[in-house]
Chains A and B, each alone.
Chain A
Amino acid sequence: MISQALLRGLNGKAMWVVALLVAAAILVPASNLLLPAGHPLRVPNYLVPLMGKYLCYAMLALALDLVWGYCGILSLGHGAFFALGGYAMGMYLMRQIGDRGVYGNPDLPDFMVFLNWDALPWYWQGFDMFWFAMLMVMVVPGLLAFVFGWFAFRSRVTGVYLSIITQAMTYALLLAFFRNDMGFGGNNGLTDFKDILGASVQAGGTRAALFAASALMLAAAFVVCSAIVNSKLGKLMIAVRDAESRTRFLGFRPEYVKLFAFVVSAVIAGIAGALYVPQVGIINPGEFAPANSIEVVIWAAVGGRGSLIGPIIGAILVNVMKSYFTVAYPNLWLFALGGMFVFVTLFMPKGIVGFLSGRRWPGRPARTTTDAGLDTAKPSPAE
């Protein structure tokens, strides 16, 4: 049944996306590794991890879109799940350093030696094993999302209230991870990685492999999301988004629908974070900053929420712009970003995808097209 659902997820458009991502996963590493330096078609070394980073962001935006675009939950704390996945991966990478750290301690990461700790804390146990770390990459964000969502959705915390407390969640984690006592490297975070699965993280081959892994995981996440939104459950999610009370009166349990979407989304975000960390080489508490999470929202909004392809386009587009602006016009970037927030919400509520397709989305009445995430009985506009 699950394979059936996945197959259904691979309809028309999705097929194209997956094919494109798989092609990228093959062609980019091939061009980088096989073509000689200076060849016009060769992807330069610096670009490989950069593009890998964009794909991780795209995955994060996709995860957010699953809850925001389809379930009406505007999470301002998705960066937290991303960072938690990243920290799980970072812990694995730290353990792989072994005795090559500055202090040469075979068991303890440098910052613990520095803090005079004499043993690994219990929550660091097991992270020397890759499979365990990968499990934690999914379990930790998933568990946090489950507990958080369980409480929030059951007590019917909705709308802006939910947005604000997700923001509070990531803010609390930001402050907590800044503490040295937490055992996650405090302010500096985890960095100075050496090996992943026995291969040096700096090596060209590893970077190419990480890029390919990012592209393939994004494709997989896309298929899963596509399968979910095209299933009956997906219809239910849209129903919850557009009219939660009505859905409840019809006998469904919106809180479980939301909880499911929220947890799946958190797991995808966690995986994105885990792929992100070895490619940028550092994870620190800054990733928990509320501003980061809000930026993810604008990626999804620019691309077009409520369509799975939109957030991917949006994330890549905005981040390419960011890379360009912060180098060429560093003072203008925040103007551009802020302007984007205003412009998109005012003039392109459906994002680029909605703008290009120029037609109504299936299954949504025109009036509420832009009202995603709204409860039905909010004060209506001053018409």
Chain B
Amino acid sequence: MAASLDPGHRLRPLPNCPSGTSLMIRTFAARWLACLALGLLFSLNGAYAQEAPIDPAGPVADLVRQLPDGSYRDRGAVIGELAATGDSALVPLLRTLEAGELFLLTETGAIVTIEPEGDEVVATDVLTGEAIGTFGEDAVEEIRVNNLIRREVRAAVSQLTLMSDSPSVRIAAAREMFNGANADSIPMLDEALAQEDNETVRAVMEEVRAVAVLRSDAGPDETAAAVDTIIERGGRQALGILQASLGSASADVAPAIEAGIARIERNLALWGVGQNIWYGLSLGSVLLLAAIGLAITFGVMGVINMAHGEMVMLGAYTTYVVQEIIRNAAPGLFDYSLAFALPLAFLVTALVGIAIERGVIRFLYGRPLETLLATWGLSLIIQQAVRTIFGASNREVGNPSWMSGAFEVGGLAITNNRLWIIVFSLVVFAVLVFVMKKTALGLHMRAVTQNRRMASSMGIRTPWVDAMTFGLGSGVAGLAGVALSQISNVSPNLGQGYIIDSFMVVVFGGVGNLWGTLVGAFTLGVFNKLLEPHTGAVLAKVLVLVAIILFIQKRPRGLFALKGRAVEA
């Protein structure tokens, strides 16, 4: 135990050691390889990389050969000396040792790793990286490790990686130390800091050093500076470290720590609000996708399409079918499945929409309430048909690899699929605005919205515009379905969950105005998510609904009402 508590022993400054310096030069190329291997090691999160050979005749190799000998304490000292060589090619070897996978070949005294092959084992020399042959199981002896050895190994690995040539390895090593740093780590960190010239790595190391200082019995000034550094860093980890240190802190620094905790908590709360806004934007994008098709049909034709949710559902099922076909026929194309699904979903739902318009709705123009009922009936039929074909249970739709995963920005956790859906909803919105403003179809649609009779008198074929509008609105719903299939369950009831919310968005935003739908969707999404932490999800939704009902009283035509004679009811 004494050895492990003696910092000087473990953390002997290495560049002052002549043999270490010459070794560093000699094995420069090997270290580059090792760094590459290490980068791989970190990216694979603990997977062991192929170790680079160590000069079997050099002093490092001699030290390695001493690993099996003597008491645990002696071997701990050997590990300390290995760390002092500064040869980062040793890192994989040390990790193997820590995992208990390093063996001694008793015959020759070689240090090996083994692969079982039947009753025998294939031994590979860790120093040369070459297989030396097949031996019986008795021929090798495990190099045993206990907690003392493991601690020594971890310290050695930290030290070696902190001195690595690759900044990313150094930064990862420092981050790894963040929670475990203590007084023992300070000299090692000082050493590393003295050599460090990369600002980013320096900053991380300073933070780790601050944690170490905080946990040591350093003087009040130094501790206060350390507390400041940790507060600057912020985040949950820092909060935990400060809270843990509060108990043992002296009276001089305790107020500073408390103030720091309060400040970090305030920061975290701010980030929390930011996170909720992000969730709100994400919900808003989903609402936008679901509602925008509805806004088009409702705006142009005054028709409430209760089967709109089912169009979304059909879009999601189209994605499912496309993915099934790709899985069976060409699994390599899976990442592009959405690229196939989008146009197909648009086509399928647009055709269904046009069929509904031509088959049912056109007989009901001027009777919006009856249209509402008939489309509700259609929605029941479509739902039941899908249930009959695909079954009532949820279908699995996979995320392509580029849509899965997450990353962090400051204190925000952002998942890729949500981000893509926000982008996608904005793209769909932009395309629709373009269609409405710049194309002949859009011009006709706007004309019909504003004054159907006048438009008809001017030679616009209003029935054709109606069919196209309905097709467009339904097609957009299909696109929404593709997006929704990526974040929610695909079941026959998928559309039902969104239909009321979509109506709320359209009614809130105002009819016949795409911008109203955009603002409405994001407002409702953010409002909902900001309420949720305070009230719970269900009550938040209830409050939003009540708020919309009250809002309608104030502005019966929505946020961005069309002005003019056309909307006078």
Contacts and interface: CB of A to CB of B under 8 A. Distances in A.
Contact of B373 (A161, A345, A377): A345
Given A160-B372, A346-B374, A155 B552 contact: yes
A334 B367 contact: no
Contact of A382 (B360, B367, B462): B462
A345 B463 contact: no
Interface stretch (A44-52, A219-227, A367-375): A367-375
Interface in B278-298: 298
A381 B365 contact: yes
A324 interface: no
A274 B466 CA distance: 45
B363 interface: yes
B369 A74 contact: yes
B109 interface: no
A357 interface: no
B503 A167 contact: yes
A226 to B, nearest CB: 24
A165 interface: yes
A341 B377 contact: yes
Interface in A338-383: 338-342, 344-346, 349, 370-375, 377-382
A74 B369 CA distance: 7
B304 to A, nearest CB: 5
Main secondary structure of the interface of B (DSSP, over half): helix
A14 interface: no
Given A163-B304, A338-B378, A179 B539 contact: yes
Interface string B385-406: 1011000000000000000000
A379 B448 CA distance: 9
Interface string A151-182: 11011111111011101110110011011000
Contacts of A167: 500, 503
A339 B304 contact: no
Contacts of A175: 538, 541-542, 545
B383 to A, nearest CB: 7
Interface in B479-519: 496, 500, 503-504, 507
B300 to A, nearest CB: 9
B373 A382 contact: no
B354 to A, nearest CB: 15
B384 interface: yes
Given A338-B380, A338-B381, A341-B380, A165 B552 contact: yes
A341 B307 CA distance: 12
A161 B556 contact: yes
B437 interface: no
Q: Which of B380, B388, B536, B552 has the most CB of A within 10 A?
A: B380
A335 interface: yes
A165 B507 contact: yes
B377 A338 contact: yes
A317 interface: no
Interface in A116-155: 148, 151-152, 154-155
Contacts of A154: 553
Given A168-B500, A382-B456, A342 B374 contact: yes
Interface in B436-485: 452-453, 456, 462-463, 466
Contacts of A164: 304, 503-504, 507
B376 interface: yes
Contacts of B367: 370-371, 374
Contacts of B364: 345-346
Nearest to A151: B553
Contacts of A301: 373
Interface of A: 74, 148, 151-152, 154-161, 163-165, 167-169, 171-172, 175-176, 178-179, 245, 290-291, 294, 297-298, 301, 331, 334-335, 337-342, 344-346, 349, 370-375, 377-382
Pick the 6 closest A-B CB pairs, nearest first: A341-B377, A338-B380, A381-B365, A338-B381, A334-B384, A381-B366
Interface of B: 298, 301-302, 304, 360, 362-374, 376-381, 383-385, 387-388, 452-453, 456, 462-463, 466, 496, 500, 503-504, 507, 536, 538-539, 541-542, 545-546, 548-550, 552-554, 556, 566, 568-569
Given A160-B304, A169-B545, A370-B370, 14 more contacts: A151-B550, A155-B554, A164-B507, A168-B545, A168-B548, A178-B538, A290-B500, A294-B373, A335-B384, A340-B377, A341-B377, A346-B364, A379-B365, A382-B452
